[in-house]
A and B are shown apart, each in its own frame.
Chain A
């Protein structure tokens, strides 16, 4: 067998392993490796700040500490959940409404959409910076107008008020990500087949009935997808909050990622920090599986329905 033949064979039958391997190797290196390292580190007492703690094995001590002795973690967890629920809910409602408005009543969409997309294309750090400037207590443009209109009083600054800061962060997230929801929902609406709508209209359905009985059921997989993507990304939120408040005032906006950052890179308590990081990963993974099953099961159903039913 000539060398040429062998090479040809590899390029043909060996294609699957040949083309797949580099990606798997890379992922192994940059994800799987670190993942196991993290799990491993979570069982040690590694710390860069306390002398003598250079990675001795401590069994489940760190995990016990998380569950029993760290109320800050759990309040941060709850805070993050509140953030996620509020942000995603508002983004979804506003984004969907805007998508419907654009779909039904606006023709030249292309141009408008590009302008609408700006908030979500900006680096999240930059978004944090922009709003930090706008909401500055002494010279923030928005602060000035909010006080002028009477929404806040002359001594309050949104970012330094413990009562208002979480709502402010949610609002900024809404500002940044509602365009994403709009974009995806609009794409979803445009991808719907025309015929079930005409059938419903011929069956005598009024506009709100058509929406309830045809539009929503057909959009369900896309809605699930949007909620999943936004939910998970909101849970991971770090960049803008880091710049805007650093987790403050106090710990009023210390989301989980920020708390984990503090433990690892401010306190340098890396063994325990690995547990915190691991917990964040776990929650995201669970959310991901749940929604994946729900969303893609729906898609598979639609595929089978393909052919004659619209």
Chain B
């Protein structure tokens, strides 16, 4: 059963449509990632689930129960905010204890629960301090502790790592994964960072312009993106896409010619940078591209290549000390690495 968004739409008073008939369902216990660029509706979807916004139409169900109009406190969910939203006038202990106090838990139980979660998040030493005295990472962990201390069935996180520096972000990511495994609750995590999504989630819901584009495991999203948008959003660097047309079984885009077994007509070809094969010498299947720029990001090298109007990025793991910008490189685009998209709708073609 789990959580179900049923044709949820949300339009704001000024006319902006945040969500357009969103259909999404996932099971309890999952670590669901809601991923999308800004304006995709991901935060709105999270807030509607939390009860901080009501949908203009549609329904939200949890384990079969319609919660669309329920106030947040009756939904059994907690939330970690992007800016942590800690209570500045309370100590860290009091911040974490607040959800329990408000629900009337017994004093001894509160004390134990707060210390347990603080230990799990390694902030026991901060319990007597105030939010103003905490570092970013500590404050963020207090926010998470507060969201988990009363053991809600579902924990929502709205871009909680966005305000942390890169190193802290990576560390906290791992910790959240560990927490999820330990606690076995449902986590719903909103982010615009595709790398975060790919490493954290059991499944990723990709949103764009208020609609669900694909809901799949990270592996399938990477290997079989449902649309050009997903293909170009995931991966660093993103998938190369080339617009062209097929005539007589040959895909043409500018000077690029590639035999493909596809019907005639306009077509968009996609290939991931790391699946482009760089050949030391020309082969029957290779195509010549001019190397424009080389970026060394140890242990990989990024090659920025061009053939007429067609630009490609290739990601290579080998040592290519002999290559020089301005020379021609021979590339193979293996058939099993090719993705095809409808140039008009962006949808994936088999």
Contacts and interface: CB of A to CB of B under 8 A. Distances in A.
B81 A199 contact: yes
Interface string A34-60: 000000000000000000000000000
B79 to A, nearest CB: 4
A310 B132 contact: no
Contacts of B52: 198, 201-202
B83 A204 contact: no
A220 B132 CA distance: 18
Nearest to B163: A308
Nearest to B73: A204
A192 to B, nearest CB: 12
B98 A195 contact: no
Nearest to A199: B85
Interface residues of B, number: 31
Nearest to B136: A308
A28 to B, nearest CB: 40
Interface stretch (A61-69, A71-79, A209-217): A209-217
A204 B104 CA distance: 11
Nearest to A198: B52
A213 B81 CA distance: 18
A308 B98 contact: no
Interface string B79-104: 10101111111000000001100110
Interface in A166-224: 195-196, 198-206, 209, 213-214, 217-218
A310 B79 contact: no
Contacts of B337: none
A104 interface: no
B83 A195 contact: yes
Contacts of B98: 200, 203, 205, 213
A204 B98 CA distance: 9
A245 to B, nearest CB: 45
Interface in B190-222: none
Contacts of B147: 202
Interface residues of A, number: 25
B134 interface: yes
A301 B130 CA distance: 11
Given A308-B83, A308-B136, A202 B88 contact: no
Nearest to B146: A203
Contacts of B273: none
Contact of A205 (B77, B102, B146): B102
A214 B50 contact: no
A305 B88 contact: yes
Nearest to A203: B99
Contact of B85 (A198, A209, A217, A307): A198
A288 B138 CA distance: 39
A304 interface: yes
B268 interface: no
B84 A308 contact: yes
A302 B88 contact: yes
Interface in A265-307: 301-302, 304-307
B86 A204 contact: no
Contacts of B130: 305, 309
Given A195-B81, A203-B98, 16 more contacts: A198-B81, A200-B98, A201-B52, A201-B73, A202-B77, A204-B72, A205-B73, A205-B98, A209-B102, A213-B98, A217-B89, A305-B88, A308-B86, A308-B136, A310-B81, A310-B88
15 contacts: A195-B83, A198-B81, A200-B87, A201-B71, A202-B52, A202-B147, A204-B73, A204-B99, A206-B102, A305-B88, A305-B132, A308-B136, A309-B86, A309-B88, A310-B85
Interface of A: 195-196, 198-206, 209, 213-214, 217-218, 301-302, 304-310
List 10 tightest A-B contacts by C-beta distance, closest first. A309-B131, A195-B85, A199-B85, A305-B132, A203-B99, A305-B88, A202-B79, A204-B73, A309-B88, A310-B85
